[in-house]
Amino acid sequence: MAAPSAQASLETSPTRLDAVGSALLFTEARTTNTFSDRPVTREQLREIYELMKWGPTWANTLPLRIVYVTTPAGKARLLLRLQPGNISKATQAPVSAILAVDSTFHHQIPRLLPFRPEMREALEADPGLRDKIGTGSAWLQAAYFIIAVRAAGLAAGPMGGFDPAGLDAEFFPSGDWRSFLVVNIGHPGESSWQERLPRLDYEEAVRHA
Amino acid sequence: MAAPSAQASLETSPTRLDAVGSALLFTEARTTNTFSDRPVTREQLREIYELMKWGPTWANTLPLRIVYVTTPAGKARLLLRLQPGNISKATQAPVSAILAVDSTFHHQIPRLLPFRPEMREALEADPGLRDKIGTGSAWLQAAYFIIAVRAAGLAAGPMGGFDPAGLDAEFFPSGDWRSFLVVNIGHPGESSWQERLPRLDYEEAVRHA
């Protein structure tokens, strides 16, 4: 039987992710701490965005912004703001992506949610709700980003250990974008991950009602 | 050529997600607003968890908790707390999942991050950092959850419009778990989604440095 095209497969019935896809994105995927010299192309960086951009956000607000740091000058500015334990990882990785939330994301609402343009003014008037929606949706998009890095055949190493205020002063002097995660991207190097850490059992994390 | 097994494929070289997988999880996936009568099985609900649990979180803290609401009694308690525009969706969906963050997630750190058990006490002493890590990681896990629903061949309808304090009083009277998202799960019904909303262009959301 010929392999079905994506379109045909979705038209016949909702399909499931196959074992190769599950392994690539979840069951065999690992946070990567060392990287080989193998480069990452500009096309791959675009491919990651063109996939992750489709993930759903609160009222389609899409507040995530990305800075792909690839140049020696850019890396030098980034390394200064990392906790010591993360410097070697980011030095090795061909790309380090700074993930940030755009605190003016609501300015795009009339275009991104054309049937409710008044939400722009509602969020302008309510900084607390704006921050809640922006932060939550940006974290959702960060997860879509990590999954999309893996979908592109690359390894992701997310890092929370950095000085966000210092990083923002260095990369976002206008003050609109606030960094919240750095994700190293590349191909795994030697001894790139530790033993897999445990997860909570279904019965610990899930209830039925 | 025979189709490679997941294991073989990953051993030879990092593969990429194929077109069927990309369509299923991202490019053709849609937020679902109506649901058919087709049921969702207990096995599918477990399968969703067993896939999404592998997604990375900050220091493997895994703060997300899930309540699968499937019974008429459970649905009645949920519907009372939803904004009016969301009641019909949750009534139709065979399953509505309440996603919550466990504010005592750090109690599990000695088991989940065995080489840094002292992080439990560090987070106990720093409620601000604890909340930041718990909230961010729970939102990451919410995105893994949505992707895993789709991976299981089901449709997801995430909803932010509900009264979190009321929902928590109803479902989490002990006060430890705090709801932040409800995700309807099932198979799409008629006219299940609107026209696709726009996304930001690459040049708007991404910079290089």
What share of residues in chain B are helix, strand, coil (percent, to 5)? Answer: 45, 15, 35
pLDDT of residue A6: 44
One-letter amino acid of A11: E
- Chain-wide mean pLDDT for chain B? 93
Please report the number of interchain residue pairs, chain A to chain B, with beta-carbon separation below 8 angstroms.
262
Position A11 pLDDT exceeds 70:
no
pLDDT of residue B1: 40
Write out the H or E segment, with its range, that includes residue A118. none
pLDDT of residue A106: 98
Position B4 pLDDT exceeds 70:
no
Q: What is the interface pTM, i.e. ipTM, of the complex? A: 0.94
Sheet arrangement for strand A177-186? A155-159, A177-186, A95-102, A64-69, B206-208
pLDDT of residue A10: 46
pLDDT digits (tens, 9 = 90+) for A139-196: 999 999 999 999 999 999 999 999 999 999 999 999 999 999 999 999 999 988 889 9
Place of tokens 């879509």: A144
Nearest to B13 by CA among A104, A147, A78, A188: A188
Q: Does B87 touch chain A (CB under 8 A)?
A: no
pLDDT digits (tens, 9 = 90+) for A29-59: 999 999 999 999 999 999 999 999 999 999 9
pLDDT digits (tens, 9 = 90+) for A73-119: 999 999 999 999 999 999 999 999 999 999 999 999 999 999 999 99
What is the model's pTM?
A: 0.94
Residues 6+ apart with CB under 8 A from A209: B67, B68, B69, B70, B71, B73, B74, B77, B171
Residue B163: strand, helix, or coil? coil
Nearest to A96 by CA among A118, A109, A77: A77
pLDDT digits (tens, 9 = 90+) for B73-119: 999 999 999 999 999 999 999 999 999 999 999 999 999 999 999 99
pLDDT of residue A147: 98
Return the ∠ at Cα A32 (arms to B206 and B147), rounded to 5°.
Answer: 60
**B 58-77: CB under 8 A from A:** 58-60, 62, 64-71, 73-74, 77
| Assigned token pair, B172 | 């989490």
For a pLDDT cut of 70, what percent of chain A falls above it? 93
DSSP state of B117: T
- What's the mean pLDDT in A57-63? 97
Q: Does A6 touch chain B (CB under 8 A)?
A: yes
pLDDT digits (tens, 9 = 90+) for B47-67: 999 999 999 999 999 999 999
Cβ-contact B151, A21 below 8 angstroms: yes
Q: Would you call B133 and A160 a contact, using CB atoms and an 8 Å cutoff?
A: yes
| Assigned token pair, B175 | 């006060």
> Can you count the helices (H) and strands (E) in chain B?
10, 5
Residues from chain A contacting residue B112 (CB–CB below 8 Å): 197-200
Return the ∠ at Cα A138 (arms to A136 and A141), rounded to 5°.
Answer: 115
The residues pairing with B155 across neighbouring beta strands, listed in sequence order, are B186
Neighbours of A34 (CB within 10 A): 18
Query: Read out DSSP for A28-95?
Result: S------B-S----HHHHHHHHHHHTTS--GGG---EEEEEE-SHHHHHHHHTTB-HHHHHHHHHSSE
- Report the residue from B16, B200, B206 with minimal CB separation from A68: B206
Q: Would you call B151 and A7 a contact, using CB atoms and an 8 Å cutoff?
A: no
Cα–Cα distances in angstroms (integers) from residue B13 to residues A94, B10, B186, B199, in the given order? 18, 6, 35, 32
